[in-house]
Amino acid sequence: MSNTATPITLTITQELGGMRLDQALQRLMPEHSRSRIQGWIKDGLVTIAEETPTAKFKVWGGEQVQITPQAAPEASAFEPENIPLDVVFEDEHILVINKPAGLVVHPAAGNWSGTLLNALLYHAPQLKDVPRAGIVHRLDKDTSGLLVVAKTLAAQTNLVRQLQARTVKREYRTIVWGQVWRNGKVEQPIGRHPHARTKMAVNRMGKPAVTHYEVLDRFSVHTYMRCLLETGRTHQIRVHMQHLKAPIVGDPVYGIRGILPLRHISDNLRTVLLDFKRQALHAIRLGLKHPATGEPMEWQVELAADMKVLLEAIRAENVPPEEADAFYVDDDEFAYEYDDDEGDDWFEEDEDAE
């Protein structure tokens, strides 16, 4: 589908004389926002006498303006795209996907195309008749792993009810900074960060959130963990791990800048860590009741390949234990932090916080 419309010619009327070009065009094309018109001018899609003026160019009336309108980026948000999908399970009711890191689930500002939704519409065209193409919960762009999609409205309604009843079981694997010494849970409410509105934070005014965690392997400066979601708030595991003072490796939002402890790790591990460009978080297991039969179903996939490489590099380390004291994390040392510097709040909070 072309993103560019047929060129049109407009004449600046006398009553618009003295105005800036962008203001005059907005009067003549009220169906388009001024910012969009300014974008066309900046991109050279607006000409007067074969010249490309600026948005501030003064018009006096009578000028012939050639415009090649460009479709808004969101116009392609619900277009099918041939994007490969790793399908773990599919029948006439549901589709279970192993989502790779880097794939946005639902179109939003900055990601109007190339999303899982676009891929789903290509894979199963009938999803155009299901709200949000059957998507009922999300994974962040750079979180990999299992995600279920409804192929019918009835299945979608059933899955939403299961999510609301907290009967959908989701297990994640993550690699965090620090040594977590015991299993436990973080039970702290999550809401919008009071100062950075694109972030979430532990917030007394937020919604209840519970993450259970279990230590699978402990290393000199890292811990490999299993996390189970009792609730599904936006960025839940990432925020709760930060709150635990054990931020997820590679997390660009909730990690700790400059945390890389150079004197505690080898050159090889340092290289692997620097090359790891996303949060080390993977949805490895998913369990639910089939929306049509009620049969309990469960799927499990392998750890994402890039996390396997990272884990192998960490395991290969041989750092004397006495050098790791600075990375001890005790889960009894919780603290409320308003501005301390995964989830499916889809039907409660209709914002894409990726």
Which residue in 164, 108, 112, 137 sits closest to 352, CA to CA? 108
Using an 8 Å Cβ cutoff, are 190 and 236 in contact? Answer: yes
At residue 349, the pLDDT reads 36
CB 45 within 8 A of CB 81: no
What was the pLDDT predicted at 75? 59
> Beta-carbon neighbour count of residue 32 at 10 Å?
16
Return the ∠ at Cα 53 (arms to 49 and 54), rounded to 5°: 165
Query: Which pLDDT score is estimated for 80?
Result: 93
22, 140, 251, 352: the active-site residue: 140
The torsion defined by the Cα of 77, 81, 85 and 87, in degrees rounded to 10, comes to 80
Segments of the chain scoring below 50 in pLDDT: 1-2, 320, 323-343, 346-354
pLDDT of residue 82: 96
Q: What is the pLDDT of residue 72?
A: 65
Q: Measured between alpha carbons, how far is 155 from 80 in angstroms, rounded to an integer?
A: 21
Q: Kindly state the tokens that stand for 260.
A: 């890389």
pLDDT of residue 274: 86
Q: Are 128 and 177 in contact (CB under 8 A)?
A: no
pLDDT at position 328 is 43
What is the DSSP annotation of 69-137? -B--GGGGTT--------EEEE-SSEEEEEEPTT--SS-BTTBSSSSHHHHHHHH-GGGGGSGGGGB-S
- Please give the model's pTM, rounded to 2 decimal places: 0.73
Would residue 140 show up in a list of annotated catalytic residues for this protein? Answer: yes
The whole-number pLDDT of residue 338 equals 27
Which residue's entry shows tokens 């190339």?
114
Residue-level pLDDT at 93: 97
